[in-house]
Amino acid sequence: MRFFGDISYDIYLLHPLILLPTIHFLIKREWYINSPGLVRFSILLGMAAIIVVPVSYLIHKILEEPGRRAARPICEWVLAKKANYFSSHVKI
């Protein structure tokens, strides 16, 4: 579950970009249109998940994790500046 928790935001952002072309591809197929709703849903989910989950993982590893590591010192610097400001300017 932690794996899907880590990539959940990437899945959220990526899934429409994959679902729309996939459904556009499938909707042109007679066998897909004539299938029951649960079968259509399962086929679409399976095709999209095969693409979305691995790509989301790659995006998470290549972009999100390095971005967080790069931003950590900046956030700590901003928090330290804010703490120094309040400790010197706010009297209780």
Distance CA 65, CA 79 (A): 21
pTM beyond 0.85: the answer is no
* Residue 83 vs residue 26, higher pLDDT: 26
pLDDT tens digit string along 12-36? Answer: 999 999 999 999 999 999 999 999 9
Residues 6+ apart with CB under 8 A from 27: 33
Q: Which residue has the higher pLDDT, 91 or 44?
A: 44
Structural domain includes residue 76: no
90 within domain boundaries: no
In a domain, 80, yes or no: no
Average pLDDT rounded to a whole number, residues 56-81: 91
Domain assignment present for 30: yes
**Residues of the domain holding 47:** 2-64
Burial of 7 (0-12, 13-18, 19+ CB in 10 A): buried
In a domain, 15, yes or no: yes
